[in-house]
Amino acid sequence: MDFLQYVDAESGLKLLLATACGAVIGLEREIRGRPAGLRTNALVCLASCLLIVISRTGALVGLEGPDNFILNVDPARMGAGIVTGIGFLGAGAILRIRESLVRGLTTAASIWFVAAIGISVGMGAYVLAAGSTLMALLILTLLNRLERRLAAPVYRTLRLTVSNTDRAETEQRCRDLLEAQRMRVQQVTYHIDNRADATELTFALRTDQELDTAELVGEVAGYGGVSTVDWS
């Protein structure tokens, strides 16, 4: 079979449009320094469109075989396979730094989204694909500014080493100081080393405002019996 007969101008335009839509989203991600940037998003969108285009051409639809066998490929199944496969790629972009901090969710969502755009273009829904690309760009830019203005909770950890004799007093002084700074102490853990006559106190904190970290750490470091202070 001559597969060149299935290469037409419309298929080429679909691939170009998919690449352009993916590049628009990827450019925004690239400007923000995200790991999945211009090339990644453009390639994902192009690949998704290409698979849909192939599944809709005569190269795969209506293939005849012996005993009146005819193979028909459902493009909708191809789209479902693309979405599933892209899920693994998006999962690789998510990074869990610690229990309260997860990075890469928006990047993973953008990869999944550009795959959907590629599918839309491959199915011939050009206006829907272009409109969705514009909406996604507005979400990534305008809503990002809105998020920055909202008072989102901030999680921090204060870790210090204090002598066993000063442990109880130092803990209470730290609690009073943190409450004065409008910080909520969610958890306090102890690591007691009797040989070194020292205890490591770890405060898991939550706040809704910016803090003067240098002043807070400096004050804690000045408490009697405190040898080390770590803020993260």
Q: Are residues 63 and 171 in the same domain?
A: no
Q: Are residues 52 and 135 in the same domain?
A: yes
Q: Are residues 144 and 161 in the same domain?
A: no
Q: Are residues 163 and 210 in the same domain?
A: yes
**In which domain, by residue range, is 181 found?**
154-231
Q: Are residues 102 and 142 in the same domain?
A: yes
Q: Are residues 17 and 101 in the same domain?
A: yes
Instruction: Please state, as a whole number, how many other Cβ atoms lie within 10 Å of the Cβ of residue 114.
Output: 33
Q: Are residues 137 and 78 in the same domain?
A: yes
Domain-terminating residue out of 119, 149, 179:
149
pLDDT of residue 130 exceeding 70, the answer is yes
Q: Are residues 120 and 188 in the same domain?
A: no
pLDDT score, position 95: 58
pLDDT tens readout for residues 157-179:
888 888 888 888 888 888 888 88
Q: Are residues 158 and 115 in the same domain?
A: no
Using 50, 70 and 90 to split pLDDT, how confident is the model at 139? confident
* CB environment 52-79: b (16+ within 10 A), e (fewer): bbbbbbebbbeeeeeeeeeeebebeebb
pLDDT of residue 214 exceeding 50, the answer is yes
Which of 88-92, 95-99, 115-119, 163-167 is least confident? 95-99
pLDDT tens readout for residues 16-43:
999 899 988 888 888 887 777 888 888 9
If one counts the domains in the chain, the total is 2
Domain-terminating residue out of 98, 115, 149:
149
Q: Are residues 16 and 117 in the same domain?
A: yes
Cα distance between residue 129 and residue 115, in whole Å: 11
pTM metric for this prediction: 0.60
Q: Are residues 145 and 187 in the same domain?
A: no
Helix (H) or strand (E) holding 101: strand 101-103
Tokens encoding 119: 């599918």
Q: Are residues 129 and 178 in the same domain?
A: no
Cα distance between residue 232 and residue 217, in whole Å: 11
Q: What are phi and psi of 73, to 5 degrees?
A: -105, 125
Q: The domain that contains 187 carries what CATH number?
A: 3.30.70.260
Domain-terminating residue out of 133, 149, 165:
149
Tell me the C-alpha to C-alpha distance, in Å, between residue 6 and each of 9, 54, 60, 82.
10, 9, 10, 22
